[in-house]
Amino acid sequence: MKRIRKAIFPVAGLGTRFLPATKAMPKEMLPVVDRPVIQHVVDEAREAGIEHFIFVTGRNKSVIEDHFDRQVELEDTLRERGKTLEIDLLERDLPGPGATSFTRQQSPLGLGHAVWCARELVGREPFALLLPDVLVQHNPGCLAQMIEAYGALKPPANVVAVEEVPPERIHMYGVVGVGKTSGKTFAITEMVEKPKREAAPSNLIITGRYLLQPEILDILADQQTGSGGEIQLTDALIRLAKTQPIHGLKFSGRSFDCGSKVGFLAANVAYALARADIAPAFRAEVKHLLDES
């Protein structure tokens, strides 16, 4: 099975749920503790062995490109002040030369369209897709778990990360049907976008991590618009499933929907409590706040 070397990060969204914070700052650059959301997602991809990071951007997103580039003036100032730890941190996070690519999604036509916009950069090889709104806290990361499971499957194979949600939340997500289990994965028998609770095929939702074969790009080239007048990736996956198997992986870890205010705040709390350098003081502050409320 061909190794997964490339990953797409669709970062063209407007972030309207976080206005006014996102009026001048991309939502992907909002910090979870001291790292932007997009940096956490790129860290997950790098840990999984991804070598080429493809960002599908839109207008007013140039700060993301700047984040993954050198800041010469900042580095010079840090050296002058003897800030070696900070310089080492910036060096560690910096992708290598030629490891990042940026392409534009000129119109907000949906996730499927964003993936299709990266077709020339992906080429004819399998790729990962990571939604930057979703953080998954676990070691190893979600994508690393998916790539391990992918390696045990018969080619060609596609893998979608899934997780359980309470029945009252099913109508908010794409839900999968569960078929035969093989190792750590199961066959996805159907995909339904935001079904009613009583019509859902399971309580397993698509979580924002995918390993996909390049044939999905051919399907997206003529995919008609669906829900919301957008080109939906789920619709294209349903078509792909007619010719290629799609597997679900119930990953280990906890996900945070950083596209919602509550999910974003919960991620900050969880990631802060996982940091040995700040967890004790932060836990005491949270306890103090809760005691006062």
**Predicted confidence (pLDDT) per residue in 13-40, tens digit:** 888 899 999 998 999 999 999 999 999 9
Split at pLDDT 50, 70, 90, the class of 107 is confident
Tell whether 67 is covered by a domain.
Answer: yes
Q: How many CA atoms lie within 13 A of 276 on its CB side?
A: 0
Give the three-state DSSP class for 7. strand
Whether residue 1 lies inside any domain: the answer is no
Angle between helix 261-273 and helix 279-292 axes, rounded to 10 deg: 130
Three-state SS string across 168-233, please? HHHHHCEEEEEEEEECCEEEEEEEEECCCHHHCCCCEEEEEEEEECCHHHHHHHCCCCCHHHCCCH
* pLDDT tens digit sequence for 228-246: 788 999 999 999 999 999 9
Segment 155-206, tens digit of pLDDT:
999 999 999 999 899 998 999 999 999 889 999 999 998 899 888 999 999 9
Burial of 206 (0-12, 13-18, 19+ CB in 10 A): buried
Q: Give domain status of residue 194, yes or no.
A: yes
Please check whether residue 149 lies inside any domain of the structure: yes
Inside any domain, residue 36: yes
Indicate whether 249 belongs to any domain: yes
pLDDT at 2: 78
**255: in domain:** yes
Judged against a pLDDT cut of 90, whether residue 60 lies above it is answered with no
For 248-263, what is the mean pLDDT?
Answer: 96
CA angle (94, 73, 55) in 5-degree steps = 35
Compute the distance between CA of residue 106 and CA of residue 111 in angstroms, rounded to an integer.
13
Residue 143 burial (CB count, 10 A): 29
- The band of 56, judged by pLDDT with boundaries at 50, 70 and 90, is very high
Domain count, the chain: 1
Identify the pLDDT of residue 59.
86
pLDDT score at 193: 86
Interval 117-138 mean pLDDT: 97
Cα–Cα distance measured from residue 246 to residue 235, given in angstroms and rounded to the nearest whole number: 13
- Mean pLDDT for the chain? 94
Write the CATH number for 38. Answer: 3.90.550.10
User: What is the pLDDT, as a whole number, of residue 9?
Assistant: 98
User: Based on the number of CB atoms within 10 Å of its own CB, is 201 exposed (0-12), middle (13-18) or buried (19 or more)?
Assistant: middle
Percent of the chain past pLDDT 90, that is, above it, reads 81
| Cβ within 8 Å of residue 234, ≥6 positions away | 174, 191, 193, 206, 226
Strand extents, DSSP E, the chain: 6-10, 31-32, 35-36, 52-57, 100-104, 127-130, 134-137, 158-164, 174-182, 185-193, 204-212, 246-250, 254-257
Least Cα distance to 269 among 252, 288, 256 occurs for: 256
Domain range for residue 149? 6-292
In-domain check, residue 25: yes
pLDDT of residue 163: 96
Question: 1 pLDDT band (50/70/90 cuts)?
Answer: low
Residue 41: pLDDT over 80: yes
pLDDT (0 to 100) of residue 99? 96
